[in-house]
Amino acid sequence: MADGGALLGHKKPIPNHDPEKSKDESDLQERSTKKKKDGEHIFSSHSSLPKDYSDVVNMKGFDGEGGSYRDKVTGKTVGGEYGSDKEEEEKGGEEDEGVCMKVEECLVGDYECPNFIFAKQEEKCLYRPWRRGVIVKLLGRRIGYKALETRLKQMWVRKGVINIIDLSNDYYLVAFSNEEDQYAALMDGPWFIYDHYLTVKEWSPNFHPASDTIKELAVWLRISGLPIEYYDSRILNFIDNRVGKTVKVDKNTLTQERGKYARLCVQVNLTKPLLVMFTIKNRKYNIEYEGLHLLCTTCGRFGHYKEGCSEKGMESAAKRDDQGNAGKGDGSCQNAAGSGGDGPWRVVHK
């Protein structure tokens, strides 16, 4: 006799079978939900490689914690700060909690002058946002904010962004978001803007633009007429170290591709007269400096033009006294203004 269910139009259920899914559908679901060994990556249906390499960079750590592989290599935590900074903050917070700031009441003459004192940990917190900052100043020329911003973005921005803050005394603070961009700005100089040197130094706490002075600068110099056999790295470094501290040698000079002049980069002391000549086998060779427009050609010091040189004024006064004591001259003597008062120093354009 036929089954009652069959008479009513219902099929007899099959044991261990899901009526809602076929075998093919079950296999497809199992493959789609199967996890790969290396984590929960987004994979293409036709390849075992990730669809986007950003998935590899931003994948979770093997220990299950958040954060990218790049962050783990560089020591960054999930929050974006370096692990060492976070540890210092936690350690210092326990030590200096509640005594981060205090004030001492003092007098300067008859006037109140309170002295504010901050704990070391508080100072570290203040310094941390500026650890990727550099201080810049254009020597011998003023430059506007927008003009400087445009040029610095062209020269320095590669992987991140920069933020420029104008300070007093023609100084600017440039804050980098990327550490590699900051390193390149500090190491790949000297930098020129409008044929003037852009001084670059790493930011340091308690920087005061009004009282800061630039004592040393890496500059390019030229030695014209030097025989080609002296275009040797050891010889050029030896000569360079007498002028100042050797930074680098121009590629064309080092490879002996250009022989008109040797071009060297030297860190010089701007508070002293710059070396202007030397001799080899009784032959004199002059040193010319690139871009040092405020180099006085009378005294060899940087910071003023020859027209405002104090030494030139003293020499002129001495010569006038000599001429007055000699009475009427024969016209062969010339004062400093007539001769120009120039010394052997020369400035050339880059």
Q: Write down the domain spans for the chain.
A: 130-202, 216-290, 309-341
Q: 130-202 falls under which CATH superfamily?
A: RRM (RNA recognition motif) domain (3.30.70.330)
What do you get for the CA distance between the two ends of the chain, in Å? 109
Q: Are 258 and 223 in contact (CB under 8 A)?
A: no
Short-list 295, 288, 303, 290, CA closest to 191: 290
Predicted confidence at residue 192, as pLDDT, reads: 94
Predicted confidence at residue 182, as pLDDT, reads: 95
Integer Cα distance of 68 and 299 in angstroms = 59
Integer Cα distance of 46 and 40 in angstroms = 17
Predicted confidence at residue 71, as pLDDT, reads: 42
Predicted confidence at residue 307, as pLDDT, reads: 77
Exposure of 233 in the CB half-sphere (CA atoms within 13 A): 8
Predicted confidence at residue 223, as pLDDT, reads: 94
Predicted confidence at residue 301, as pLDDT, reads: 86
Q: Are 95 and 120 in contact (CB under 8 A)?
A: no
CATH no. for 216-290: 3.30.70
Short-list 232, 225, 198, 245, CA closest to 288: 225
| Helices 145-156/179-187 angle, 10° precision | 100
Predicted confidence at residue 49, as pLDDT, reads: 40
DSSP-assigned beta bridge partners for residue 217: 268
Exposure of 252 in the CB half-sphere (CA atoms within 13 A): 8
Predicted confidence at residue 303, as pLDDT, reads: 80
Quick check: do 130-202 and 216-290 share a fold? Answer: yes
Short-list 134, 158, 295, 136, CA closest to 221: 295
Predicted confidence at residue 305, as pLDDT, reads: 77
Return per-residue pLDDT of the chain as tens, 350 residues: 545 444 444 455 555 555 555 555 566 565 555 444 444 444 444 443 444 433 333 333 434 444 443 343 334 443 443 344 554 555 544 454 557 889 999 999 999 999 999 999 999 999 999 999 999 999 989 999 999 999 999 999 999 999 999 999 999 999 999 999 999 999 999 999 999 999 999 999 999 999 998 999 999 999 999 999 999 999 999 999 999 999 999 999 999 998 899 999 999 999 999 999 999 999 999 999 998 888 888 888 888 877 778 776 555 544 555 545 544 444 433 333 334 567 888 888 76
- The pair of structure tokens assigned to 219 is 């500059």
Predicted confidence at residue 186, as pLDDT, reads: 94
